[in-house]
Structures are given as structure tokens and as C-alpha cells.
């Protein structure tokens, strides 16, 4: 009886190893040719010592979700979100999160706002993640732009209130289009 159970288990383990190996081969093979492929080793920030997202004092119930640097960096690494810099173009060119779209909150048009934002965001789906930021804690342009986007139906508008400063302080790359002496 015991040897029968032991045989059953060893057969199961052998088959499990085979299934595991086939899965590894399929995963690596398909990932190497897939248009949606990802890197084998994810470069994510350590999640330890995370103090959570910075939330401004003027945040209200119903505001878009605030995210911390770890989540912003994860979304950046996976390319699953559009990053939006809400500052003026003069500040944007001096240094921003690489690949960000510049939508200056101060220059939002009074009319056809939806059309303007849809166009600026490249007509991304309204349920895709959009991460809005500005320079850091002293700047709340990201909060206001985030509220606008949420009101227009962008259901995954996220605010990274630490902004480009926290990003740079974490040792992450900054894209500078112009040398502003910083």
C-alpha cells in the first residue's frame, strides 16, 4: 500500500517537473517573439522601507489615487502607464521623467478641454493608467490636472505627488531637453 502511494507520488513529481520545464521553454520562447514581451529580470525598487505615497494637505475625498515612488517606478519599468508632467514647458524641458507628456495645467484651454486632453494623451484608452506629477510637494498642479482628467472619465488617473524631485533623488533617470544649470 505504502509503496503504491510512493510510486504514485514519484510519478506525480516526475510529471510535475516535466510540466514545469515545458512551461519555462514555452514562456521564454513566446516572450522572445511576442510584441508584448517583458524583460526577464524586473528592475523594481525595493518595497522595503516604503513610507507610502505623499498626499497633499488639500487632498479631498474622491480625488484620484496618490501613488508612491515604488509604484511610479514599477509602472515606468513595465511601460503600463502614460506619465504626464503638469508643469509649464519651461520647467518641463529642464528635467522630467523620461518619456513624459507635457500638459501644463496653467495653459489648459477653457473650451474643448476633453478634445485637448484626449489629443495630448494620444487618445489612450480612458481605463489606462495615467500618472500625473509636477516638481514635488510644493506644487499641486498635478492634483488639479488629475481632478480634471478624472472628471473627464479617465478612471485610472494616478497622482505621483513626490514628482520629478523624488524621482531624481531616488537615483532614477531624468530627461533634460535643455541645460538649465541644475
Partner 1 sequence: MRKLIDNDYVTMLSRLIIGLMYIYASFYKIVEPAVFAKSIWYYHIVPGSLINIMALILPWLELLCGLAILIGICYRGAVLWANVLLVVFIIAFASTIARGIDIDCGCFKAGKSATRAAWKTLWFDVAVLLCGLQLWFSRSKRWMLSGH
Instruction: For residue 134, give the nearest of 159, 171, 157 by alpha carbon.
Output: 159
Smallest gap from Cβ 9 to partner 1, in A, equals 8
Q: Residue 12 interacts with partner 1 (CB under 8 A)?
A: yes
Q: Residue 57 interacts with partner 1 (CB under 8 A)?
A: no
Name which of 67 and 97 has its Cβ closer to partner 1.
67
E strand map for 6-156: 65-66, 81-85, 101-102, 129-133
DSSP 63: P
* 59 exposure class (CB count in 10 Å sphere: 0-12, 13-18, 19+): middle
Q: Residue 13 interacts with partner 1 (CB under 8 A)?
A: yes
Q: Which of residues 19-48 bind partner 1 (CB under 8 A)?
A: 19-20, 22-24, 26-28, 30-31, 34, 36-47
Given the rule CB under 8 A, which residues bind partner 1? 8, 11-20, 22-24, 26-28, 30-31, 34, 36-47, 74-75, 78-80
Amino acid at each position: 500500500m505504502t509503496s503504491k502511494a510512493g510510486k504514485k507520488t514519484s510519478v506525480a513529481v516526475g510529471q510535475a517537473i516535466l510540466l514545469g520545464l515545458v512551461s519555462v521553454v514555452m514562456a521564454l520562447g513566446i516572450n522572445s517573439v511576442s510584441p508584448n514581451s517583458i524583460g526577464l529580470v524586473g528592475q523594481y525598487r525595493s518595497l522595503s522601507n516604503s513610507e507610502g505615497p505623499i498626499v497633499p494637505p488639500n487632498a479631498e475625498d474622491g480625488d484620484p489615487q496618490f501613488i508612491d515612488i515604488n509604484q511610479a517606478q514599477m509602472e515606468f519599468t513595465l511601460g503600463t502607464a502614460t506619465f504626464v508632467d503638469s508643469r509649464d514647458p519651461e520647467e518641463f524641458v529642464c528635467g522630467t521623467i523620461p518619456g513624459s507628456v507635457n500638459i501644463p495645467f496653467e495653459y489648459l484651454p477653457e473650451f474643448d478641454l476633453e478634445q485637448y486632453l484626449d489629443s495630448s494623451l494620444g487618445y489612450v484608452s480612458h481605463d489606462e493608467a495615467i500618472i500625473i506629477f509636477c516638481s514635488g510637494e510644493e506644487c499641486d498642479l498635478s492634483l488639479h490636472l488629475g481632478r480634471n482628467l478624472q472628471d473627464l472619465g479617465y478612471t485610472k488617473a494616478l497622482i505621483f505627488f513626490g514628482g520629478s524631485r523624488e524621482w531624481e533623488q531616488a537615483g532614477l533617470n531624468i530627461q533634460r531637453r535643455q541645460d538649465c544649470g541644475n
